[in-house]
Structure 1
């Protein structure tokens, strides 16, 4: 299998990556596989539902990917894979992952871990015939690890959304429909923790941009002019700016926003409910702690009406 071009969507969750990947799949040359970083625990171990609605091990797409990549998912030892993940894909490992030279003692472990992703990407492209595979894992540590993968055509899209809007979303209680045997909810973060993660993840992708080309896209600009934004993303990924071939197709994702289970036409609209709901001390906590990067990304010094344009 030859390796495809991989678009890695990075940033902090609740920034619109699911909507973006859904719209990208309107092109037949794009295959979106969701947040592959969670496949091991949520798919391989937990058996959670794919974006198509089928349990992971019953999904025809993921069955075909597992067969092509590994000779079947049974060939993988889940504890071993999760051990590799813990040894490589953690925010605490960013200092050595971001170094100009990978420490020799880490080389083999990083190669084994990133090799798993390369096999999945190649298999997904082989199964679908896509030229571009979209992985919306978002974790900066995984993006930095993939940077060291040999012969991987990696393109990184840094998707950023204004911090108060993201913190507001992280404060909401949202049910996870991919878990069918019990009621489970997506994690909830306090304003302080959401702010800390927003700063850490976005700053990490700013650092990654010093190591390889990174295309930054603001959520607010994306929803204001989706066609232009999608054309820019396709161009960055090396694809022609062709018109969509049809409606978005549900990505075969094993994690992400519940929006991935939606079928049919999508209406792109900006969600500004946080402006009315997220007020007082919570909003000021986020605004005060994240202002340096908010200034860098152009969120300060503009009125709400100007931001909506």
Structure 2
């Protein structure tokens, strides 16, 4: 049975950073956002975190062989159809309330379970990390009987998330010809509420869920990783976190299937809190996001006055 740590939350909340740091711990294999593997990697052959095209990456080649006797045996159209049928935010109430998982839910979950198990075997890791983020996918994975699922719910101040979604960020996989998705502050505020609430619902369905605030994690990443390792059932040795240095981390090559451009970083990664939104997000947009997300911001311990976050 594969032991899986699923990193969830709305995009631009810091899950890629948490994943990269977890991936440096011995016995941990970080896979990136597996939810995008079907389109971006199997169909589009985008670059793995190691820099190679997916089809040329030896790690993923071995995972495909172990899981499916080769990626050519995966019906990508079938997987995408299953995703459309079951893995959408609007399906979460049905996924959460079902007494018995539907057949299509079990089938869709099985593709992920086989990848997780294969990745653990190929890497020799005890723990596999999937930073797919999507709350609906986490609810789907709850139905898989052959994975030990634990979820880390990563929360970041909604106003910081909203500001990040407005920025233009090039997708390195597209060789500079494409940009990552952008949302208006109003749209991202609604998504922030919906995705975060869905992880609260997951916890009430018996799945082990640990919520972390991105800002607190960055303030003391060593303590944060120790707590996450304990939650995941990983026993750390004294030297396991030596890659953490004052103000930065030293990263090796990873095999992230998809995700934030940070997944390509090798070497020094600065660890500093980004509060640019306090100065750069227009006041009207700050007020809008604060009004929409106010109740949950307070529930997560964020001050409604942005000056108090400094």
Q: TM-score, normalised by structure 2?
A: 0.93
1:246-280 superposed Cα distances (whole Å, 9 cap, x missing partner): 54333312221111111102221101111111122
Residue 186 of structure 1 deviates from its aligned partner by 0.2
1:203 matched residue in structure 2: 197
1:137 matched residue in structure 2: 132
In the alignment, is residue 276 of structure 1 matched against residue 279 of structure 2? yes
Structure 2 unaligned regions, length at least 5: 244-249
2:52 matched residue in structure 1: 54
Structure 1 unaligned regions, length at least 5: none
Indicate if the aligned counterparts of 1:96 and 1:102 stay in contact, CA closer than 8 A: no
Q: 1:234 and 1:302, CA in 2 relative to 1: closer, same or farther beyond 3 A?
A: farther
Partner Cα separation in structure 2 for residue 221 and residue 294 of structure 1: 15
Q: TM-score, normalised by structure 1?
A: 0.94
Compare relative contact order (CA 8 Å, sep 6+) and give the higher one, 1 or 2: 1
In the alignment, is residue 226 of structure 1 matched against residue 224 of structure 2? no
DSSP 3-state at the match of 1:13? coil
Q: 1:119 and 1:286, CA in 2 relative to 1: closer, same or farther beyond 3 A?
A: same
DSSP 3-state at the match of 1:265? strand
Match of 1:289 among 287, 292, 295: 292
- Aligned residue pair count: 301
Residue 303 of structure 1 deviates from its aligned partner by 6.7
1:59-105 superposed Cα distances (whole Å, 9 cap, x missing partner): 111111101000111001111111111111111111110115136xx
1:100-159 superposed Cα distances (whole Å, 9 cap, x missing partner): 5136xx2x2111111100110011111111111000001000000000101310000000
2:257 matched residue in structure 1: 254
Match of 2:26 among 28, 43, 47: 28
Q: Equivalent residues in 2 for 1:233-248 (5 A)? A: 233-242=228-237, 243-244=240-241, 246=243, 247-248=250-251
Q: What RMSD, in angstroms, separates the aligned Cα atoms of the two structures?
A: 1.5
Which stretches of structure 1, 4 residues or longer, exceed 4 Å deviation after superposition? 301-305
